[in-house]
Structure 1
Amino acid sequence: MISRTLLTDFLLIAFLVALQVFVLNRITVSSEYTPVLYPVFVMFYPFFRNRYQFLALSFLLGLCIDAFLGTWGINAFATTAIAYFRTLIFRTSTDTTTDFFSFSSLQWPQFLLFILTSIFFHQLLVQFIEFFKLSRIFDILLNVLISSIISFIFIVLYALIFKIKQRI
């Protein structure tokens, strides 16, 4: 098991921001939908670490994305919100009632449901704040759905490549 320190967290944030801004934001589907990978930091952050440090790092990650994209705190809000509600999302999507959380003890359907729920919640917050108009509610929901599916594929590939389910 790889030991995570504050330095490795900062390096991971820098890597994810660079990957999102310089690579993934250049990939578009139908010239409208972009995959989002940076929330993996929030989703796969160890549960036993300091909660306040986790919230601060999640906010910093979103703020870095906002700084590059010029989105005025939308990503910082969405990333911090999924960090705050992550335990609740984990419990509801995996049907876990204990206080000990572990990805390695999950079945694959539960693990995938956790990822899908987290990314859908993140995309819903980002899209809703960015494009909020009641007249465009169906466009927003369609955009959230398609972006979540595309991001889900990239996040599952990331989890498989780095063997997240076995390591955490």
Structure 2
Amino acid sequence: MNSSFGIKHIAQFILFVALQILLVDNLVLFGTGFCFIYVAFLLFLPIGISRMWLLILGFITGFTVDVFYDTIGIHAAASVLLAFLRPLVLNLLTPRDGYDTNDSVNIHVMGWRWFLAYALMLILLHHTAVFFLEKISLQDAWYTLAKILLSTLFTTTVMVILQLLFFSPKRERVDYR
């Protein structure tokens, strides 16, 4: 990894976690839909990042949110699950020509359908883990499912808006040596 790669992603980490803690924490749709924008950091990492780094970054990201939310490891567990499943989802969605290992996840490069399938699958899995770990019972399963679905749609919509506003339509070249 080169230094510009590290600096760029450290800045993204700080930005997404700060947005989550300072701003998005107070955004709730109908008392049910929550936005967990910090997962964008994990979803937008380059495709060629190693699994070990992905799992470590997943833990650090979730643990940081847990510290501020006082949620005793719920976000850390869900983020590590997301980081673990991300390469599997990428393999599942591999285009016919394969990925360029230098590509980052970008709606402009990968296309709408690919990005929505990728984001919806991983966000749904993450949110399912968060809300079922939070409740640890099936007593209010319908309410929990409503929270999962509404939160998944809310988070995905915010991520699409972020991609369209702040991510470049051209391919980025990253050197992983």
**Unaligned ranges ≥5, structure 2:** 173-177
Task: Using the TM superposition, give the Cα deviation of residue 118 of structure 1 relative to its aligned residue in structure 2, in angstroms.
Answer: 1.1
Is contact 2:33-2:150 (8 Å) kept?
yes
Aligned mates of 2:97, 2:82 — CA distance in 1: 20
Match of 1:146 among 126, 147, 150: 150
Greater RCO (CA < 8 Å, at least 6 residues apart): 2
Please tell me whether the aligned partners of residues 44 and 164 of structure 1 are also in contact (alpha carbons under 8 angstroms).
no
2:127 — aligned with what? 123
**How far 1:27 moved relative to its partner?**
1.2
Q: How big is the shift at 1:165?
A: 6.2
Cα contact 1:35–1:151 (8 A) shared by 2: yes
Shift of 1:48: 1.6
Aligned to 1:107: 111
After the TM superposition, which of the residue ranges 83-92 and 153-162 deviates more from structure 2? 83-92
Distance 1:98 1:136 in 2: 45
Shift of 1:106: 2.8
Could you tell me how far 1:95 is from its partner in structure 2? 5.0
Deviations 1:139-166 (A, max 9, x none): 1111100111111110111111122664
Partner of 1:163: 167
Quote the residue 1:20 is aligned against: 20
- Percent same amino acid at aligned positions? 25
Distance 1:86 1:12 in 2: 18
Using the TM superposition, name which of 77-86 and 105-114 deviates more: 105-114
Matched to 1:100, the amino acid is Y
How far apart, in 2, do the equivalents of 1:106 and 1:161 lie?
Answer: 16
TM-score (normalizing by structure 2): 0.82
CA distance in 2, matches of 1:7, 1:53: 15
The Cα shift of 1:124 comes to 0.5
Change in 2 beyond 3 A, CA 1:64/1:167 = farther
Count of equivalent residues: 165
Counterpart of 2:11, as a letter, is: L
Quote the Cα distance in structure 2 between the aligned partners of 1:115 and 1:165: 18
Answer yes or no: is 1:53 the counterpart of 2:53. yes
1:34 maps to which residue? Answer: 34
Greater shift in the superposed pair: 145-154 or 100-109: 100-109
Unaligned runs of 5+ in 1: none
- In structure 1, what is the Cα distance between the partners aligned to 2:148 and 2:95? 27
TM-score by length of 1: 0.86
Whichever residue aligns with residue 121 of structure 1, its letter is L
Distance in 1, Cα, partners of 2:122 & 2:131: 14
Instruction: Map Cα deviations across residues 1-49 of structure 1 (whole Å, 9 max, x no partner).
Output: xx75333333321211110011001111113422111111111111223
Q: Which amino acid aligns with 1:146?
A: L
Secondary structure of the residue aligned to 2:28 is coil
- List per-residue Cα deviations over 1:107-163 (Å, max 9, x = no partner): 311211111111111100100110121221211111100111111110111111122
